[in-house]
Amino acid sequence: MHFFLCFDCLSLCFLLHFRSCVAFSGKNRIIGVAAKNQMVTNVKNTVFGFKRLLGRKYNDPYVQKELKHLPVKAAPLPNGGIGIRVNYLGEEHSFSPEQITAMLFTKLKETSEIALKTKVNDCVISVPSFFTNAERKGLLDAAAIAGLNVLRLMNETTATALAYGIYKQDLPAPEEKPRNVIFVDCGHSSLQVSACAFHKGKLKMLASAADPELGGRDIDFILTEDFCNSFQSRYRIDPHTNPRAYLRLTAEVEKLKKQMSANSTNLPMNIECFMDDKDVTGDMKR
Ligand SMILES: Nc1ncnc2c1ncn2[C@@H]1O[C@H](COP(=O)(O)OP(=O)(O)O)[C@@H](O)[C@H]1O
Ligand SMILES: *[C@@H]1O[C@H](CO)[C@@H](O)[C@H](O)[C@H]1NC(C)=O
Ligand SMILES: *[C@@H]1O[C@H](CO)[C@@H](O)[C@H](O)[C@H]1NC(C)=O
Ligand SMILES: [Mg+2]
């Protein structure tokens, strides 16, 4: 049995790693890592986590819960969909999660075209295996807005297994015992696990399971709360009252978490001018 742990990308689409983040700043649309990097200074106009809003209605309790984690404003659209409110080109605009996703796809398309030096229209997009038909439809709508022709939507569990199978040179021959591999894919907000049997040129999905509500961000939430409590008692500040400070803390905590997964010593965290002109420090050990 082989175990293969991956923390990888959103889609097989163009085999590119992209952060699902879109920001608006004056006349500019900022996409991907660049958008994530400016998040703290442009809290109200930076949209992330929209993959979880695809194909859903505003009054869906799941949507209401998700919106609590997002610093952007949102309101219902006339058709009951979700309108994400941002400042763009000097006025307030309302975009659906499908439109925001289309902006990300357009950028992915352009990036791929530059890298591949050819037009890209056809693509395969992977989706979480637990995506409902409505969510899949939302993703297809987004691809259509971006002018992409989706040949196929593929489950992420299948895409992960395929990616493993493509590069493995030593898989058993068809008459031999299969190699069984378990894939554990812990993403930002969900966890997918699958068991596959491999032969050379052939893969069989034996079983798969998912928890759509458990991911790396849940670790971030818990660690962030721990620092909030500590800051309340040590500095008399409550980061919950300041969205920008809270987001900044979450970003630092995520960095600390990543460091902790490679380093078992006590690790420091320092943030200057965090709130009320106070510098804060903390530390953590796994
Ligand atoms: N070295 C690491 N140690 C711990 N967690 C990590 C590490 N690298 C990335 N992560 C976490 O993995 C999650 C992102 O996973 P990713 O596969 O990129 O997202 P998704 O598939 O959901 O789009 C984030 O919560 C991030 O903090
Ligand atoms: C995708 O995953 C779901 C849930 O595991 C499963 O019901 C469905 O058949 C899969 N679709 C494909 C095309 O593999
Ligand atoms: C672990 O972190 C400490 C403190 O930041 C650092 O001094 C040390 O070099 C790190 N060790 C490794 C193996 O990265
Ligand atoms: Mg992933």
CB atoms within 10 A of CB 277: 7
Structure tokens given for 83: 């309108």
* pLDDT at 284 > cutoff 70: yes
117 C-alpha vs ligand 1 centroid, how far in Å? 30
Q: What is the pTM of this model?
A: 0.87
Candidates 259, 257, 260, 256; CA nearest to 270 is 256
122 lines ligand 1 (CB under 6 A): no
92, 96, 99, 100: CA torsion to nearest 10: 70
What pLDDT score does 19 carry? 75
261 C-alpha vs ligand 1 centroid, how far in Å? 11
Query: Are 170 and 195 within 8 A, CB to CB?
Result: no
Q: What is the average pLDDT value for the chain, to the nearest integer?
A: 91
What pLDDT score does 25 carry? 94
* pLDDT at 1 > cutoff 60: no
140-168 pLDDT, tens digit each: 999 999 999 999 999 999 999 999 998 89
Tell which atom from ligand 1 comes closest to the C-alpha of 262: 1
Q: Residue 142 and residue 139: Cα distance in Å, rounded? A: 5
The confidence band for 73, taking pLDDT boundaries of 50, 70 and 90, is very high
259 C-alpha vs ligand 3 centroid, how far in Å? 9
* Residues 6 or more apart in contact with residue 67 via CB below 8 angstroms: 74
Q: Residue 6 and residue 160: Cα distance in Å, rounded? A: 9
- The ligand 2 site (C-beta within 6 Å) comprises 129, 155, 158, 208
Q: Return the higher-pLDDT residue of 47 and 1.
A: 47
The average pLDDT across 200-224 equals 96
Pairing of strands 21-25, 191-199: unpaired
What is the 3 state secondary structure string of the chain? CEEEEECCCCCCCCCCCCCCEEEEECCEEEECHHHHHCHHHCHHHEEECHHHHCCCCCCCHHHHHHHHHCCCEEEECCCCCEEEEEEECCEEEEECHHHHHHHHHHHHHHHHHHHHCCCCCEEEEEECCCCCHHHHHHHHHHHHHCCCEEEEEEEHHHHHHHHHHHHCCCCCCCCCCCEEEEEEEECCCCEEEEEEEEECCEEEEEEEEEECCCCHHHHHHHHHHHHHHHHHHHHCCCHHHCHHHHHHHHHHHHHHHHHHCCCCCCEEEEEEEEECCEEEEEEECC
216 lines ligand 1 (CB under 6 A): yes
98 C-alpha vs ligand 2 centroid, how far in Å? 22
Which-ligand-closest: CA of 189?
A: 1
The average pLDDT across 96-119 equals 94
87 C-alpha vs ligand 4 centroid, how far in Å? 30
**Best of 127, 155, 193, 206 to mutate for ligand 2, by most ligand atoms within 8 A of CB?**
155
Which-ligand-closest: CA of 133?
A: 2
**Best of 4, 5, 6, 7 to mutate for ligand 1, by most ligand atoms within 8 A of CB?**
7
Query: Are 158 and 210 within 8 A, CB to CB?
Result: no
What pLDDT score does 9 carry? 35
What pLDDT score does 12 carry? 35
Tell which atom from ligand 1 comes closest to the C-alpha of 254: 27
Candidates 200, 105, 212, 220; CA nearest to 157 is 212
4-30 pLDDT, tens digit each: 332 233 333 343 446 789 999 989 999
Pairing of strands 73-76, 267-275: unpaired
The average pLDDT across 223-239 equals 97
Percent of the chain surpassing pLDDT 90: 88
Candidates 127, 109, 105; CA nearest to 118 is 109
* pLDDT at 3 > cutoff 60: no
260 C-alpha vs ligand 3 centroid, how far in Å? 10
The domains of the chain, with CATH numbers, are 7-154 (3.30.420.40), 216-284 (3.90.640.10)
The confidence band for 186, taking pLDDT boundaries of 50, 70 and 90, is very high
187 lines ligand 1 (CB under 6 A): yes
